[in-house]
Amino acid sequence: MASGSDPPKQYGITKPLSLLGPVEADLQRTAELEKFLVEAGLYESPDESARREEVLGKLGQIVKDWVKQLTSQRGYTDQMVEEANAVLFTFGSYRLGVHGPGADVDTLCVGPSYVNREEDFFIVLHEILAQTEDVTELQPVPDAHVPVMKFKFHGISIDLLYASVSLLVVPAELDISQGSVLYAVDEATVRSLNGCRVADRIIRLVPNIENFRTALRCLKCWAKRRGVYSNVTGFLGGVNWALLVARVCQLYPNAVPSMLVSRFFRVFTQWQWPNPVMLCSIEEDELGFPVWDPRKNPRDKCHHMPIITPAYPCMNSSYNVSTSTLRVMVEQFQFGNKICQEIEMNKASWSALFEPFQFFEAYRNYLQVDIIAEDDEDLRLWKGWVESRLRQLTLKIERDTYGMLQCHPYPHEYADPSRQCAHCAFFMGLSRKEGVKIQEGQQFDIRGTVDEFRHEINLYMFWKPGMELAVSHVRRKQIPAYVFPEGYKRPRPSRHVNHQSDKNDTEDGTMISSPDSQLKRRHNSVGTDDIEPSWPAKRSSVSPVHPKNSPQSGSSGDETRCNNQIKRAPSDATGGSPASPQALERSPDTIMSAPRCTTAGAVCSGDAINKHDVPHVENCNTPTVAVCTTLKRVAEKVVSELVGSERMGNNNSAESLESMEKAENVCFSGNGVSQGGLPEELED
């Protein structure tokens, strides 16, 4: 038994913020939370669980037979054919133990060096699966960042990846957490292996796996209800939420699920992005694969919400996050923090935390993206392509308005049952950037931005007749009825809505028109919140005949990011120390392709802003401020909440206070990456 003088076990890169365990009230709240999750249907039935195991067993046998078949066809010896093997691994929510009913299963097939991905996996195995009776909706995606084959097997959704490792025979007990598995493989294989390696590492780095699972299951449900669960749209996906929850588990190793959920919101409400969240130090390796390193990789400097994977090669799992989606998530963290405080004071129940976000009441102006196809199968393919590019529309609007017009892409899709063709629609909320002074006659003209987006969408190489896209500007009162649940009654417009962004929604004149028309509008006087702007009826920008022979668009997804995002903050007036991270001034051309800087002032001065009338831009080389996580201030601010307001009289309170003051401080060099991957602790 450890003596009382032994230091507490450290699970992350820093000491815990608090070692306090639960009291009776915490245990009661945890029981109520678990009861809520069960009643919400977040756990699958024993029958479905058994069916998943059966499907995985059958799929494992299929890939073994596939490798043996290829080994025999290529003339290897009978002994080699006998020993030939492929191993099936799982990762994602299934591997972490937080999957729910109907969730897909992320799987990885690891095969020998002579079985490749391009032909053997995507052609030979694809044909085998296509001929398998219980396999439906088979869709290969060989050009994805992580090449994948998607299908349903006996009704269970499967995402199957493939990795060919440098072994002639793959042992059944292969440990892919070992770095040797990455020897002599390409980067696509590394990315394919990374999902399993990250999941295994997370499980090893959390203090209590069951508490972690309950808290993660809760927060994933919360994120879906609040509309911030979608990696492809620019929010966070499953692995991102798992890493954030795991970090909170490390900071509060003795906390039960109800405490972890509450601490999650307290920590990330006050987290000073873009400081990275890391479960362990970033390690270099002689294999030489690129890791997240803002010193060497200019794109890494532009990441808004870095959440770093814990397995080599460490990567930012949340590179899709934009300034707009980060703003939305921070607002939702604030909402969660407020509700959790009320729950701890017995003023609210857990159901209040999971209230769905009223997206269509939160803004006055929206973009509606209608996706149309001839039939359901074409719609599935066309929608997948358009949805994967919606994030680019958000980035382009941020770029062309210099961040003055903010977008809130909503990750839910809707269908109009009255349409004869296959159809679905996505929506984006629009609002001015908070704190921007409204000037008389100011307008945002994003018609050119939308046209550029449509042009890129129409370059889809598998386009078919009937695949169409329409982008429309709609006001709140014009939102179609099919997005609301049956029996829903729209509230009367009010001055205040439950979303912070609404106060920034003004009569901003966001202009979108079809290519063959020009919209003219009167500008309403500013300051009359109850009066909608006198805009014309809903108009749309509709995709024309597919431009098979049209010239390529000038910008593509990731190339629109900047190379200079963070300017050096001004020195504090008292002594020349760097200003707080909140004072960091982001370059207004955050997602311009060229490494240039400009001032926002020129953007705000005109009557109308058009992408063809951008202000003069001068080149500049801006030094990068030291990126440093300063949770000491967070600890000092919340120590009274986390310790004093709960049970400062507890015998462990002094120890807890000391732990809180030893708050996380991951210091970085001037170019933005940790020196040697080791954290520096703040001293008392």
> So which residues are the catalytic ones?
93, 104, 106, 159, 220, 229
User: Can you name the residues that pair with 428 across neighbouring β-strands?
Assistant: 367, 409
Query: 330 labelled as ligand-binding?
Result: no
Alpha-carbon span 236 to 506, nearest angstrom: 28
- Known binder of ligand: residue 548? no
User: Would the annotation count 92 as a binding residue?
Assistant: yes
Determine the Cα angle at 10 with ends 5 and 16, to 5°.
90
Is 43 flagged in the annotation as binding?
no
229 is in an annotated binding site: yes
**451 has binding-site annotation:** no
Which of 403, 414, 388 minimizes the C-alpha distance to 474?
Answer: 414
Token pair for 350: 């857990």
Q: How many CA atoms lie within 13 A of 325 on its CB side?
A: 30
Instruction: Give the Cα-Cα-Cα angle 191, 197, 203 (nearest 5 degrees).
Output: 145
Strands 148-153 and 135-141: antiparallel
The response to whether 312 counts as a known ligand-binding position is no
Q: Is 91 a known ligand-binding residue?
A: yes
Determine if residue 93 is labeled as part of a ligand binding site: yes
* Token reading at 422: 């296959």
Helices (H), 226-281: 238-251, 257-270
Degrees, nearest 5: CA angle 410-411-413: 100
| Spatial CA neighbour of 169 closest among 234, 243, 256, 77 | 77
Token reading at 83: 């020993």
- Whole-number Cα distances in Å, 264 to 12, 257, 682: 16, 10, 22
At CB < 8 A and 24+ separation, what contacts does 85-90 make? 85/112, 85/169, 85/170, 85/171, 85/172, 86/110, 86/111, 86/112, 86/115, 86/170, 87/60, 87/170, 87/171, 87/172, 87/174, 88/56, 88/59, 88/60, 88/63, 89/176, 89/196, 90/56, 90/196
Q: Which residues are annotated as a binding site for Mg(2+)?
A: 104, 106, 159
Binding residue positions: 91-93, 104-106, 159, 220, 229, 238-239
Mark the binding-site residues for ATP, compressed into ranges: 91-93, 104-106, 159, 220, 229, 238-239
